[in-house]
Structure 1
Amino acid sequence: MKLPFTRTALALLGLAMLASSCSKQRSDKTGIPYNDKKFGYQRFRQTHPAPGPGLVAIEGGTFVLGGSADQDITFEYNNVRRRVTIPAFYMDEAEVSNQDWLDYLSWIRTSFPGDHELYYNALPDTLVWRRQLSYNEPYVNNYLRHPAFQDYPVVGVTWEQAQEYCQWRTDRTNEFILQERGILLNPRDKKNRQLLANNPDAQKTTFNTDLYLNNQVRGVGVDGKRMPANLNPVADPNAPLGSNQKQVRPVRVEDGILKPAYRLPTEAEWEYAAVSLNGNTQFENINDGKVYPWNGLGVRSPDKATRGLILANFKRGNGDNAGVGGYLNDKAFITAPVRSYQPNDFGLYNMAGNVNEWVEDTYRQMSFEDVDAFNPFRGNQFSDKRLANASTGQYAKDKYGRPIKDPAKSQKKMSYAELVASQRADSLANVAAATGRPAAATQGQGVPFVNKDPLAGKPYNADARGFRDTVNASLYGVTTLVNDRSKVYKGGSWNDMAYWLNPATRRFMDQGDASAEVGFRCAMDLVGAPEINPAGKPHFSVKKPKTSGR
């Protein structure tokens, strides 16, 4: 009785195996199968990754940069209306808080316990609260560390410190992703403690995303048990064996597992996200503009339950930071928690008021005339990762395990001969001689190096005002307030009048300065299809390429 059933089962199994072999994905141009050890060609699962922790998706589009401005009371003429297009991206739902920064400080103290300089440099300047004629000492002592302020925005942070935090957040996020998947060894697991104890060098390894992708974060005590299989071992003959004795490899960008880098938003991204016209758009028609991140021309709530309440944390007038005792209006004397008031139509909190926010851009008054119409940005300083060994492609790294970066040597892909010459060169002059290019190489913004400081040997270009002098900054603040260290901040703060709540307004400060009225939030590139919510929207039917079968 069981024999026919067994034969049938075997027949079905054979058909399933045949179907499986025929359905293997193949190149639609050559027919060669993917993910086959005999060929080594790999096709990775196509994915649209989710945003990193704390981020929300901002669907990009066209908008008028400076379009929300209703007045120019400073007569600076520095954000004249211009239509631009912003690609989709991710942005922090809320400003970086004191607790977030304390996490950062805690990691530094744990990972580099003897490096007092690193810890000191990461500390916010709490003295930004101090005033000669104001009793603010309680904030100097308590604002950063007291648990009552843990969900308030961090302030006293320079633009440079914000950049360091973005790098740290990128590496910690990706490191945790790999540890959770078992691709990296998790030192927090008890079962790994003995292995780490037997390999003390592993505990000295600081994870960096760039170095990991360059195959420089490897070894016993680092590699986890669930590393991806290496289907092309010929390309990596020294690859270590995994627990199943198969050759394994680190995660690559193509795997779609690691998150893109956290960064500051560009000025255009920040303004686009703050205006959030998506809530006023139907069938590509904008029904109404905005002066603030909310609808209407006023700063008070029109809703019945909250009617009359101020919609953001700002100063209503001289000497009025919160309203009348017994019925505080915006309910904040200084800053407010990072998730206060109503979010805008993108779901972002405090895009007006509370604290101004650093953005990535370098300030120029006429940026609106100069920047590109697609993804406008000013401040590019292109760089190359320095090679420690040109033959192996390993990057040079600093004492904190991060790649060392130098000004980019070329604005386009070099020929192979030029690349080899540049790798062997000891200076920009040697690069110029080897490639036949003029000796005045570029700094990354098209600025020629025409001199060298006799003490530092650092190339620079001195103009009459010190505008582009990268060595002698003594004229900064004397003859000009604007140079490449001048960075933009936007949004208004708890101590600003309502004018600065307008997303089009812009101010600047030296990248090494800090204020009790300036914080920041992070952004991240969105990779893949730009449409955030495609469901229910019309789409053309497109034939998919034939990647399976014979």
Structure 2
Amino acid sequence: MKRISIVFTTGLLVLGLFGTACKSKSGGASTKTGWKYNDKYNGGFQVAKKVKPGAGPGLIAIEGGTFVMGGSLDQDLSYEFDNVRRRVSVASFYMDETEVSNVDWLEYLYDLRQKFPNDRELYYNALPDTLVWRRPLSYNEPYVDNYLRHPAYQDYPVVGVTWEQAVAYCEWRTDHVNEGILRERGILADFKTKTGKGKGQAAGASTASAEPFNTDIYLNGQIRGEGVDGKRMIKDLSPNAQASGAGAKKGGAPTRPARLEDGILTPPYRLPSEAEWEYAALALAGNTEYENINDGKIYPWNGLGVRSAKQSTRGLIMANFKRGQGDNMGTGGYLNDKADITAPVKSYIPNDFGLYNMAGNVNEWVRDTYRKLSFEDFEDFNPFRGNQYVNKRLADRNTGVYAKDKYGKPIKDAAPSRKKQSWKELNGAVDSAKNTAIAGKPFDPDMRGFRDTVNAKLYGTSTLVNDQSKVYKGGSWNDRAYWLNPATRRFMQQDESSAEVGFRCAMNMVGTAEINPKGKPQFRQPPSKAAKSLSKK
């Protein structure tokens, strides 16, 4: 087995996210028009230095590729036939090194309470259901009170979290990380200024906006102003730009907020797709040489069994699962998997991508909506079932300002089309709040029903599957070894939770798919003739 986890860590990427992505070199010119970039005298079109940003906090880079989805399942004990083998390709992406832990969730709860101290409903809805530990014939009551909050369990995976709560956490994490990046770089007011502790401010008097940060709202230019703008904002080279705030008073140069084009902000955190999760769990790249897979896998580690073959750990169980009825951890005096319920998120040996507990400990939510026959209708690149397209609602069509809810987030409506609308269609939409018609014609924005004959009215009568049925994978501390196989799949309603289900986040990777080109053959690009002729001018 070839360990490749070092290759896929963030340290070897071209430039970390906290590097100098926003610094644009003066000079450089368009190869198509000849006009210089970043020149305030010719219109001020700004082009940031080209970088490949590193992973966001907590993430590990996963180089994508082709694999046989469902291929590691050598027997279908439950006769479900719901993951029949098919070859697919997964784009390179990032994935959390570990499951989201209790302390991670407590940070989330704390931030909600700080930002919305009077909104008890929001806080209550974010609380995990600790009652999932209760069993009619088991004494699990201590876990109800202690598992989430006691410091002894702070690095254990959070459980009792619904799919909906996991999605909400991903959205919060995106905004929390991006706000931290902008404040640390001085593009937004730093943390001292935000809390009213900056120079020349009265104690406790915050000059920054009390409205919570949201990435989409910020990128739309709706978060700026006195006390909000940082001291190191990006120079605006547009001839129409004017200095504002403190900069205008001091005669400073015009500045602007960060844009997506600057490469500063992270892409959104999200749940991984089922294909991404299965690909990352198998980590077949560790058994690959020159595009040949030398050995397949049944589990995230090599071999046919669940015990370690190394001399120093020989015989130890490789994951946290239930070996048999009444055997959750082995014999007292020599515990085998060292865990009675869940185990800390950095337990056992990571797989060849460097990911911990991709088998056992807790099952993990993925993004996909469950269908038994998903393998029949699928794209072979980034397969995913669950697309429901949405648009951000405009509060003012003339200015492009987004409508916001009471939490400062953009209000999203079901999209009337999968393609860009014409200006006439955009401004002729009927019932934009409900999005039930466009230009007087009804539409269905939900692509989850594509070629799908399941009727939602039959749920609970002849089927337990509907559009709220979400996939979870990986096996748990209370599951048998069969469920540790990455190809197995089960489902639960998106508003339900369990003591055996947690999650981890993923993120899209931007730029080139290859993570570590060192030592691999590459095409060398000759100098551009167009660039040469342009430089002579």
Alpha-carbon spacing, 1:63–1:252, altered in 2? closer, same or farther (3 Å): same
2:350 corresponds to which residue? Answer: 343
Alpha-carbon spacing, 1:115–1:427, altered in 2? closer, same or farther (3 Å): closer
Give the partner amino acid of 1:445.
Answer: M
Give the partner amino acid of 2:379.
Answer: D
User: 2:404 aligned with 1:397, yes or no?
Assistant: yes
Q: 1:92 touches 1:523 (CA, 8 Å); kept in 2?
A: yes
Q: Which of 407, 418, 426 does residue 411 from structure 1 map onto?
A: 418
Q: Between Structure 1 and Structure 2, whose CA radius of gyration is higher?
A: 1
For the residue of structure 1 that corresponds to 2:342, the secondary structure is coil
User: 252-261 vs 199-208, which deviates more?
Assistant: 199-208
2:294 corresponds to which residue? Answer: 287
Q: 1:390 touches 1:423 (CA, 8 Å); kept in 2?
A: no
User: 38-47 vs 345-354, which deviates more?
Assistant: 38-47
- The C-alpha deviation readout for 1:92-118, integer Å capped at 9, x for no partner, is 000000000000011011111111001
Give the partner amino acid of 1:232.
Answer: S
User: 2:209 aligned with 1:206, yes or no?
Assistant: no
User: 2:39 aligned with 1:36, yes or no?
Assistant: yes
Alpha-carbon spacing, 1:191–1:113, altered in 2? closer, same or farther (3 Å): closer
Deviation of the 1:489 alpha carbon: 0.1
- The C-alpha deviation readout for 1:170-227, integer Å capped at 9, x for no partner, is 0000000000000011233575275587976734121000000000111111110111
1:441 corresponds to which residue? Answer: 443
Name the Cα RMSD after superposition: 2.2
For the residue of structure 2 that corresponds to 1:358, the secondary structure is strand
Deviation of the 1:380 alpha carbon: 0.4
Q: Distance in 1 between matches of 2:218 and 2:436?
A: 31
Q: Distance in 2 between matches of 1:310 and 1:54?
A: 26
Q: Which of 483, 505, 515 does residue 532 from structure 1 map onto?
A: 515
Q: Distance in 1 between matches of 2:88 and 2:511?
A: 21
1:482 corresponds to which residue? Answer: 465
Deviation of the 1:424 alpha carbon: 8.6
- The C-alpha deviation readout for 1:14-34, integer Å capped at 9, x for no partner, is xxxxxxxx9921111111111
Identity %: 64
User: 210-219 vs 31-40, which deviates more?
Assistant: 31-40
User: How do residues 311-460 of structure 1 correspond to structure 2 at under 5 angstroms?
Assistant: 311-422=318-429, 428=435, 431-433=438-440, 439-445=441-447
Q: Which of 275, 281, 285 does residue 278 from structure 1 map onto?
A: 285
Give the partner amino acid of 2:461.
Answer: V
For the residue of structure 2 that corresponds to 1:368, the secondary structure is coil
Deviation of the 1:444 alpha carbon: 2.8
User: 2:29 aligned with 1:26, yes or no?
Assistant: yes
For the residue of structure 1 that corresponds to 2:277, the secondary structure is helix
Q: 1:66 touches 1:504 (CA, 8 Å); kept in 2?
A: yes
Q: 2:362 touches 2:474 (CA, 8 Å); kept in 1?
A: yes
Give the partner amino acid of 2:81.
Answer: Y
Q: Which of 490, 497, 501 does residue 518 from structure 1 map onto?
A: 501
Deviation of the 1:57 alpha carbon: 0.2
Q: Which has the higher helix share?
A: 1
TM-score by length of 2: 0.90
User: 2:227 aligned with 1:224, yes or no?
Assistant: no
Deviation of the 1:81 alpha carbon: 0.6
- The C-alpha deviation readout for 1:85-141, integer Å capped at 9, x for no partner, is 000000000000000000001101111111100110000000000000000001001
Q: Which of 70, 84, 103 does residue 80 from structure 1 map onto?
A: 84
1:451 corresponds to which residue? Answer: none
1:138 corresponds to which residue? Answer: 142
User: How do residues 141-290 of structure 1 correspond to structure 2 at under 5 angstroms?
Assistant: 141-188=145-192, 191-192=197-198, 195=201, 202-234=208-240, 242=247, 245-290=252-297
Structure 2, gaps ≥5 residues long: 1-24
For the residue of structure 2 that corresponds to 1:56, the secondary structure is strand
Q: Distance in 1 between matches of 2:28 and 2:535?
A: 4
Give the partner amino acid of 1:204.
Answer: A
1:491 corresponds to which residue? Answer: 474
Q: Distance in 1 between matches of 2:203 and 2:399?
A: 30
Q: 1:25 touches 1:548 (CA, 8 Å); kept in 2?
A: no
Q: Distance in 2 between matches of 1:196 and 1:225?
A: 19
Deviation of the 1:544 alpha carbon: 5.0
User: 31-40 vs 313-322, which deviates more?
Assistant: 31-40
Q: 2:83 touches 2:375 (CA, 8 Å); kept in 1?
A: yes
Alpha-carbon spacing, 1:389–1:323, altered in 2? closer, same or farther (3 Å): same
Q: Distance in 2 between matches of 1:446 and 1:296?
A: 37
Q: Distance in 1 between matches of 2:35 and 2:391?
A: 36
1:50 corresponds to which residue? Answer: 54
User: 320-329 vs 242-251, which deviates more?
Assistant: 242-251
For the residue of structure 2 that corresponds to 1:369, the secondary structure is coil
Q: 1:183 touches 1:225 (CA, 8 Å); kept in 2?
A: yes
User: 137-146 vs 420-429, which deviates more?
Assistant: 420-429
Deviation of the 1:346 alpha carbon: 0.1
For the residue of structure 2 that corresponds to 1:260, the secondary structure is coil
Give the partner amino acid of 1:489.
Answer: Y
